[in-house]
Chains A and B, each alone.
Chain A
Amino acid sequence: MVKILFEKDLCLGCKTCELACAAAHSAAKSLVGAIKENKISRLRIRTKGGKLKLEQCMLCANPRCIAACPTGALSKDKESGIIKVNKMACTGCGLCEDACPFGAIELHTFPTMCDRCMHSGKPLCAMSCPTRALKVKIV
């Protein structure tokens, strides 16, 4: 399982990670491509009460998103632990979005959350972070 650790004190809030994520999920694999293809970032750097906070899927052991889904559209990949979406079953109700305690899901037609960049081999948010505030840990 690929864990991503967030070191708050290093983060400068530049959002390079968000840009890299959106680019990584575009067919063109570029920022321009992401904008044209309407791809969004799967993690977000926000402030809450003046403090920086990362919104990104934690790959929970007992995912509340799965429990909340009335159509059984979400499942957890056994090997990688990431959450998969069955687009045929998903009705876009947004209950998973509400259920996630980490604010990790964004309903972008379908629930969209971090997939640890399974298609690229490495989590590109962490790779792109200029301050190394995001660190990868394989467990």
Chain B
Amino acid sequence: MSEDFKCLSCDKANYKLIEKAKNEKIETVWDRAEAMQPQCGFGEMGLCCTNCSMGPCRIVKVSEDGPKKGICGADEDTIAARNLARSIAAGSSAHSDHGRDIAHALYNAAKNPESGYKVKNPEKLISLAKEWGISTENLDIKDIAAKVAETALQEFGKPFGYLRFVDRAPEDRIDIWKKMNVVPRAIDRDIVEVLHSTHIGCDADYRNIMVAATRAALSDGWGGSMIGTELSDILFGVPEPHEIEANLGVFKENEVNLVIHGHEPTLSEAILVAVNDPELIELAKKQGAEGINLVGMCCTGNEIAMRHGIPMAGNFFQQELAIITGAVDAMVVDVQCIMPALSQVAKCYHTKLITTSPKAKIPGAIHMQFNEEEAIESAKKIVREAVSNFKNRRGNILIPQEKSKGFVGYSNEAIINALDGVANSTAHPMGTVKPLADAIKSGVLRGAAAIVGCNNHKVLHDKGHVELAKELIKNDVLVVTTGCGAYACIKEGLMSKEAAKFCGKGLATVCELVKIPPVLHMGSCVDISRILLLLSELAKFMNVDIKDLPAAGAAPEWMSEKALSIGTYVVASGVYTMLGVAPQVTGSENLTRFLTDDIKDIYGGCFDIEANPQKAAEKIIDHIEKKRKSLNI
């Protein structure tokens, strides 16, 4: 019977829970997606405009007498580009606001002992201070942290100059950005400019709209996200390889199950401290539980898995299923990718849905605001709420058996470390990307591809990620992954030692020698900034630009505005990027051609759209081989 649900997800743990949901008459994302059919073609093509109240206006291309212009005269190119640009700006703002929160936490670590935050990696702090020209002489770590945090916060609104991290890009890249006038200047400013220029009666040239959108996206990748990643490493530690468990089988029948879901490690790190508090563990025991089982979901799960080996319970499409197990005592959420539907599902069980951010409240949930100034105390209150709910469990529990093991935690530092392990230290300088460059040049590795992004009902759950990853590693392409794609890969066993069996000969040899899995977990979605840096280092080492590398990106199941921002900054950084779901721009042939073709002549990277993972892999491999040829390797 559970087999019937194969058409919805390629994850076995899910079949049983989807069946349980059906039996218990609980609606899930798959039901709502079905009820939503047909989905409006105007929205799908990006041809509906509500930017002013003369509208809504829709461009009708399918019939001759249908309107071809909005009431203000905006045509399909303008409308589709404005809609896309606004989504990119929203995505950039989500990532960047996350980065801002981390910078505030670093400031709290420096100035406010009550917060409980501490600098865990002073070396990375000092090296960033040096990079930013902050004098560290006669300053203790806290003073340096305060200065770095303040400097990071100024990146959001500084009136002059451009973002500091831009200088990390290869020179040729910066030249292209300068020529195109897309060098990100200040994060908030670049986002505001998109909102301004897409107001009614402002920018009508789709190419110029994309200039502003690209700048806002770059201020995410080389700005907000990079600040988020770097400062998180400073505060909470640089990720190192860990073996962990993943999938919905990580719940424990006899322990308090606390799911932490959302994005910002400021909350999850504090929750992690709280669940290890002896007093709270004692309280759990008094309730009849054997302990507290903290597990992660979506990107916040990636963050604590990478740094602390906490199990990864599931990705975006598994959030409702987690509650449907009946074993979740509390789901604690902060921001982004939290389905409002959770509140209804939680009501059908004993689960407490706890919202914590002033930026994200959900009707029906318990709101317990997380106060970063007293982070640990706030977290303890939240954990107490979870623990005290254990006794309210009802009988309808089903924890699936399915869970897999895999290695996570491949920060750039960890990757370089692993490679140094096999490099000949007398012949090679340590701590560089040389071994990686050598493996690529020799052809043992044909190249590298990043598989990132979300889940989307338009693609069979997880299959887009998994099939593409398998096809690529079979062809000796090293895969790095973040976000919900990382969950799909670890669940499928692609991050385990045994995964070498899926690889081509070259990649299998590398994995064995270096002792890495063929699919490297590089973190959460903001950590795509790590991938940018790795590419940048590799390009600099090989004396080329990022666009010349045999590398590609893919987002087979993407859905969020953040993904649009990522896609745009990655393409503008010179990377060929494959999308499994078409963005809502197809109503404008000009804009579609611009994104998939014209843009290549500008940035060297472009979007491509291919829903079939096999075909997508073929195209990516083809691209990689072309790049190898032009590099003469």
Contacts and interface: CB of A to CB of B under 8 A. Distances in A.
Interface of A: 9-15, 45-47, 52, 130-133
Contact of A132 (B39, B40, B58, B63): B63
Contacts of B39: 13
A36 B21 CA distance: 32
B40 A10 contact: no
A131 B41 CA distance: 11
Contact of A131 (B37, B43, B63): B63
A132 B58 CA distance: 13
B41 A13 contact: yes
B363 interface: no
B66 A132 contact: yes
B38 interface: yes
A10 B66 CA distance: 11
Contacts of B137: none
A20 to B, nearest CB: 14
B430 interface: no
Nearest to B58: A130
Contacts of B40: 12-15
B129 interface: no
Interface in B492-542: none
A14 B42 contact: yes
Interface in B1-53: 37-44
Contacts of A11: 41
> Which of the four size classes fits the interface of chain B?
10 to 19
A69 B458 CA distance: 41
13 contacts: A12-B40, A12-B42, A13-B39, A14-B42, A14-B43, A15-B40, A47-B37, A52-B38, A130-B60, A131-B60, A131-B63, A132-B66, A133-B63
A82 to B, nearest CB: 26
Contact of A12 (B37, B62, B65, B67): B62
Contacts of B44: 12
A132 B41 contact: no
A132 B65 contact: yes
Contact of A10 (B42, B63, B67): B63
B66 A130 contact: yes
A14 B41 contact: yes
Question: Which 3 pairs from chain A and chain B are nearest by CB?
Answer: A12-B41, A13-B38, A47-B37
B62 A47 contact: no
B60 A45 contact: no
Given A14-B40, A45-B38, 20 more contacts: A9-B62, A10-B62, A11-B41, A12-B40, A12-B41, A12-B62, A13-B37, A13-B39, A13-B40, A13-B41, A14-B42, A14-B43, A14-B58, A47-B37, A130-B58, A130-B60, A130-B67, A131-B60, A131-B62, A132-B66
A46 B65 contact: no
A133 B37 CA distance: 17
Nearest to B59: A130
A70 B43 CA distance: 45
A80 to B, nearest CB: 28
